[in-house]
Amino acid sequence: MTVDKRLEELGITLPQPAAPVASYVPVVVAGGFAHVSGQLPFIDGALVTGRLGEDVSTDDGMAAARACGLMILAQLKAALGSLDRVERVVKLGAFVNSAADFTDQPKVANGASDLMVEVFGEAGKHARAAVGVPALPLGAAVEVDAVVAIRGG
């Protein structure tokens, strides 16, 4: 089954890939890997902003991380031409805009991690970091980056 067919089966429509907000490119392909720059969470075209443990719930943070994961997939498809070139999701890095006493960053990051397994099955299982930070670009609640092994790259 193609990845596009799997997305359709899951009822997932990828967003339009977001343009970079500074001096970088969304994806660099080198040495058989695609390195995806940190992606911000857009839900229904609006950036999810705020801080976990203050004005963003853990469930909303998980939804924001999932939105970051969807943007990672959109960026990969734009850069690779097809998500069928993804051999394995190697690593995700999740950055969570967190209040000082918020400690559920791993749960928030599951929003992106679970998406990768839904889409790619065993090949979506990955290493990960989930880090609390005091601020993110544009006030985003979550940012997620990725390293993906690719076929024919």
Is 118 buried (19+), middle (13-18) or exposed (0-12) by CB count in 10 A? middle
Is 123 buried (19+), middle (13-18) or exposed (0-12) by CB count in 10 A? middle
What CATH number is given to the structural domain containing 120?
A: 3.30.1330.40
Structural domain containing residue 124:
3-18+26-150
CA trace torsion 151, 66, 72, 95 (10° rounding): -110
Q: What percent of the chain has pLDDT over 70?
A: 99
The tens digit of pLDDT for each residue in 118-140 reads 999 999 999 999 999 999 999 99
Token duo for residue 14: 């990828």
Per-residue pLDDT of the chain (153 residues; tens, 9 = 90+): 899 999 999 999 999 999 998 999 999 999 999 999 999 999 999 999 999 999 999 999 999 999 999 999 999 999 999 999 999 999 999 999 999 999 999 999 999 999 999 999 999 999 999 999 999 999 999 999 999 999 985
Q: Which helix (H) or strand (E) holds 35?
A: strand 33-39
Task: Provide the number of structural domains found in the chain.
Answer: 1
Q: How many CB atoms lie within 10 A of CB 109?
A: 26
